[in-house]
Chain A
């Protein structure tokens, strides 16, 4: 059975959930072969986890030099492996860097690329949800092998334990791979909450939350449910919450099991980022708010009365 290359994304020794999802999808097309590119020691910390989710092989390209650059070392490693391993497909988690790696690799190999795929059939047919999830498109790569980025939360990662064979890969960077250098990586406080695009519960606040201070109420509900906090564009533009938490057309696309919209009217701009969520709950004082057209459960009311009561009720039930 042919190999299916899966580019691994990990941080601080932890494999991103989106990588485990890509491994899960890869098993439907062939034998998943994980590709780890980074500083020395990156692979050792994640190999066991990759094996747990079905990687029969882990290709390792590690050096201090590879960690100095964005995108290009991963492109160089994947291009080398596509040539040597003749994989059936290449799957890359659909993060910003993942998409960029895919795009650049497509040019290098003159190979078609499909972005934000939510499903990939055994014959290479990819499913995408476009135009804010309103249209479902099935596409194929017709020049080259299926080269796709897999949108986070498209599938539930399932374990398929195996002991991977670790294979070292030599990657030569060309001069044009070394034009942009990462000089600093700055961690900004984000607390213990799950990553927005990976969270199974997302609680978002909008204009109706009214102020940055009031977002504490949104955070409280998110924490009680073990979820991430999001915000509508109206809320981020008003400075209520940092931009990187924006859900919508110009922000993150999320697809959690549960999405709770607090004080969000539900303009197309916002729906674009959340309408493929499994269950949607909305609280808004305006009975006419379009968000209610999407909501499985809606409360027309003052969120400053409804949410504190809900938080109290959850605490009571948790004992």
Chain B
């Protein structure tokens, strides 16, 4: 099975993240950039499928030069090769145009299955997998907590507020996963060494047949008008329990009319 895994490099969600003051795009230069955590589960799922039925796993990343680090890290888990979509004109591209760029790259790879994390920790939009499926004419099985592959038939369990839904489709399909689906492996030393030699193809917009005017801030269908840091929340009253902490807590709740 030919599998593509979409991997995004994001600023570490465990650190303070900011927008650039000049153009309100995500400040990636000063951030600690890592693989979007949810994508690691997509990589793991791809590797499990390859190990069980055979195939080839290709990482596809759109991002600046420094995304190379995340691509090598992804490859060290076990995928076969990667495509890095790299073009200065892509700076500031919105989700809508990102899906266009990714669709062009994915289409040329002719995969049976595209795996992705359900959301990125920076934008948290959850829109990309369906945008991509719409552009490619692929089935979309999103929000999976379980994926079963049986020949060309795919079945997922999709977590919902009420429980879960069982959704099925045939390949080719886009499947997005949550962190409940598996436990991603750590790269082995051998994996890290091998990753350095794995092929990484770099594609620019011209290679994908996309004009620079269709992407970037100029090609975006949305624009940031203004951005500001929210004033930090002020801590309030803090007491130490001296045997009446629970009572005092309820007194506070009552004063705020919650009890």
For residue A292, which residues in chain B have a CB less than 8 angstroms away from its CB?
235, 238
Among A22-30, A32-40, A160-168, A293-301, the stretch that binds chain B is A293-301
B233 to chain A, nearest CB (A): 5
Query: Interface range on chain A: under 10, 10 to 19, 20 to 34, or 35 or more?
Result: 35 or more
User: Is A192 in the interface zone, CB < 8 Å from B?
Assistant: no
Considering only residues 208-259 of chain B, those with a C-beta below 8 Å from chain A are: 220-230, 232-233, 235-241, 243-250, 252-254, 256, 258-259
Chain A, interface SS category? mixed
**Chain B interface extent, by class:** 35 or more
Alpha-carbon distance A279/B236, docked complex (angstroms): 10
Query: CA of A275 to CA of B16 in the docked complex: distance in angstroms?
Result: 14
- A52-60, A83-91, A181-189 - interface stretch: A181-189
Known contacts A139-B224, A184-B166, A268-B14; A96/B126 CB under 8 A: yes
**Which residues of B sit under 8 angstroms from A176, Cβ to Cβ?**
134, 137
Pair B131/A243 contact, Cβ less than 8 Å: no
Q: Which of A262-319 contact B (CB under 8 A)?
A: 267-269, 272, 275, 279-281, 283, 287, 292-302, 305-314, 317-318
| Bound: A282/B118 CA distance, A | 31
B window 137-177: CB within 8 A of A: 137-143, 145, 155, 158-170, 173
- Whether, in the assembled complex, A218 has its beta carbon less than 8 Å from a beta carbon of chain B, the answer is no
Tell me which residues across on chain A come within 8 A of B126, comparing CB atoms. 96, 99-100, 103, 115
Contacts between chains A and B (CB distance < 8 A), count:
275
- Tell me if A142 and B227 are in contact (CB < 8 A): no
Q: Given the known inter-chain contacts A140-B225, A298-B238, please indicate yes or no for A250 contacting B134, CB distance below 8 A.
A: no
For residue B68, CB closer than 8 A to chain A, the reply is no
* B108 on interface, CB distance cutoff 8 Å: no
Residues of the A chain whose Cβ atoms lie less than 8 Å from the Cβ of B135: 107
Q: How far is the CA of A17 from the CA of B127 in the complex (A)?
A: 22
